[in-house]
Amino acid sequence: MESILHLLFLLQFLPLLSSSESYDPQVKYFMNCGSDSNVDLVDLRNFVGDENSNLSFSVGKSNSVRNENPLPGILPLYHTARIYTKISHYMLNITQTGSYLVRLHFFPFSFKKTHLADALFNVSAPNFSLLSNFSVRNSSTEFPVIKEFFLTIAEGNFDIYFIPADETRFAFVNAIEAFLLPPKFFIYDLNATPPLLTIDAALRTLYRINVGGPEVNDTLWRNWVPDNDYLTFGSSEQASCNGEPQESRQRPDFKDIAPDAVYRTCKKVSIYNNGPSNIPNITWRFNVSKEARHLVRVHVCDLVSQSPGTVSFYLNISANFSTVIDPNSDGVSDMSAPLFYDYVVSSDDSGYMSFSIAPNETSITKVAFLNGLEIMEFLGSSTIKMPFENERRKHLALKIGSAGGVALILREVSQFDN
C-alpha cells in the first residue's frame, strides 16, 4: 500500500427528515448468544435467545455459558455467551442481497475457572477478516466491546467464523446483530478512480464523532461520541455552534445516514478582522492502523453563515490532502442543509490520522465548521480453511483451558449440526 494519501470525494445532498422515527430493517437478526431467553431492549431491538434454534440460523459447534453472578446493572444480554473451542461458524440465513450492518458484542465474565477475558481469537466472514488476534484485554474501551462492520451479503447462508488462536484457547461472543441497511446508505461509485467504494468492499467502524455535541444513539443503533477527546489544537477562536438542520425536501431515504442531533451541533473557527495574521484551525487526531485504507465520512451543515454561497473552507486530512468544502457548490442555495462527503484515505505509517479545518481567508464569511465525522477501515481479505467434521454428537464434553492451566468440563447445552 502506498504511503501517500489517496483521496477522492463525492458530494451528496442530504436533506433530513426528523430522525425520531425508528428504522425497521427488512432483514434483521438480533441474537442473544448462549441463552434460551429473549432480551427486549427499550430501543426496539429484541435479541432472541439463540438456543431456540429454527431454520433461519444455526450457532455452530459451541457451548452456552452463563454468568451466575452478574454485577447489578449489567444488561441481561451480557449474562450469557457462546464459546467456541474449535473453529466453527455461526450461520444466518440472509433472504435479501444488500449492504448489511453486522455487530458483535463482547462482555467477558468468569465461568467457574474460565475467564472469557483470556480468549484470543480471530473472527472472519467468508471473504473478510473481521477481527485478528482479538482479545478484549487489548481494547481501550469499556465493556461491552462492540465491533461494528459493514458488509455486502448475498442472499443465502452468511457464515461468521470463530477461530480460537490455538487448542488451549477459545473464542466467545455475547450477542450478534445483522440487519439490512437502508437503501443508498453507501454510494458505490465505480466511475471514480480509484473506485470510491466497491460493492464487494467491507468496512470496520473505528470512530463516529458528534462534533460539538453530546453522545447520541441513532436509528441504526449506532453510537456517536463527543469530539473533545480527539482535539489536538483547539485554537483560541474555536467555538461551538448549534442550530436546526433543514427538513427534508427530497430523498427521505437518507434520513438514517446521520441523526439530526449530529447536524444540530458543530465546532467552528473564524478569522476576525483584527485577529491574528496566521490562519487559525481546529485539528482532531485519531489513532488508526498504519498504511491502511479508510473510508472517511464528513458531515457538515451550515448553521453559521448568514446567506447562501458566502462560505467555503479547507478540510485537510493528515499532511498530504487538502480539499475545499463549499456547502453551496452545486448551485443549491439552501441554508442549513445536512451534507455528507465520502473520501477514501490511506493512512501513512505514523499510526494516526489528523483532520484540520481552516477558514478560507478570501471568502465572505471567514469560518470553517464540522458537525460530524466517521472513520471506517477497509477490511483485508481472508481465506479460511474450515476443517469440516459433519458429526453430530449429543453429549460432547469439551475441555477448556483456563488461565491457571486448570481444565474443566463443560456440559454441552446445545448441539447443532454444521
Ligand X SMILES: *[C@@H]1O[C@H](CO)[C@@H](O)[C@H](O)[C@H]1NC(C)=O
Q: Which residues bind ligand X (CB under 6 A)?
A: 3-5, 29, 48, 54-57, 93, 95, 120, 122, 126-127, 129, 132-133, 135, 137-138, 140, 154, 157, 163, 165, 200, 215-217, 223, 233, 235, 281, 283, 287, 312, 314, 316, 318-320, 322, 324, 348, 351, 356, 358, 360, 362-363
From the number of C-beta atoms within 10 Å of its C-beta (0-12, 13-18, 19+), residue 38 rates as middle
Comparing CB distances to ligand X, the nearer of 248 and 414 is: 414
C-beta of residue 366 within 8 angstroms of C-beta of residue 359: yes
Among all chains, which residue has been given the C-alpha cell 422515527?
A: 21
Q: How far apart are CA 75 and CA 67, in angstroms?
A: 12
Comparing CB distances to ligand X, the nearer of 80 and 318 is: 318
Instruction: Provide the minimum distance between the beta carbon of 395 and ligand X in the complex, in angstroms, as a whole number.
Output: 25
Comparing CB distances to ligand X, the nearer of 71 and 409 is: 71
Among all chains, which residue has been given the C-alpha cell 461494528?
A: 148
Comparing CB distances to ligand X, the nearer of 15 and 172 is: 172
Instruction: Provide the minimum distance between the beta carbon of 30 and ligand X in the complex, in angstroms, as a whole number.
Output: 7
Comparing CB distances to ligand X, the nearer of 2 and 395 is: 2
Instruction: Provide the minimum distance between the beta carbon of 105 and ligand X in the complex, in angstroms, as a whole number.
Output: 10
Comparing CB distances to ligand X, the nearer of 21 and 200 is: 200
Instruction: Provide the minimum distance between the beta carbon of 270 and ligand X in the complex, in angstroms, as a whole number.
Output: 14
Q: Measuring CA to CA, how many Å separate 355 from each of 172, 236, 297? A: 36, 17, 12
Q: How far apart are CA 219 and CA 217, in angstroms?
A: 7
Comparing CB distances to ligand X, the nearer of 15 and 90 is: 90
Instruction: Provide the minimum distance between the beta carbon of 175 and ligand X in the complex, in angstroms, as a whole number.
Output: 11
Q: How far apart are CA 8 and CA 375, in angstroms?
A: 15
Instruction: Provide the minimum distance between the beta carbon of 183 and ligand X in the complex, in angstroms, as a whole number.
Output: 20
C-beta of residue 65 within 8 angstroms of C-beta of residue 80: yes
Residues in the chain: 418
H or E stretch at 260: helix 260-263
Q: Is the dihedral of CA 23, 214, 7, 128 positive or negative?
A: negative
Q: How far apart are CA 13 and CA 116, in angstroms?
A: 45
Instruction: Provide the minimum distance between the beta carbon of 96 and ligand X in the complex, in angstroms, as a whole number.
Output: 10
Comparing CB distances to ligand X, the nearer of 123 and 196 is: 123
Q: How far apart are CA 237 and CA 359, in angstroms?
A: 11
Instruction: Provide the minimum distance between the beta carbon of 154 and ligand X in the complex, in angstroms, as a whole number.
Output: 6
C-beta of residue 164 within 8 angstroms of C-beta of residue 171: yes
C-beta of residue 339 within 8 angstroms of C-beta of residue 13: yes
Q: How far apart are CA 141 and CA 98, in angstroms?
A: 30
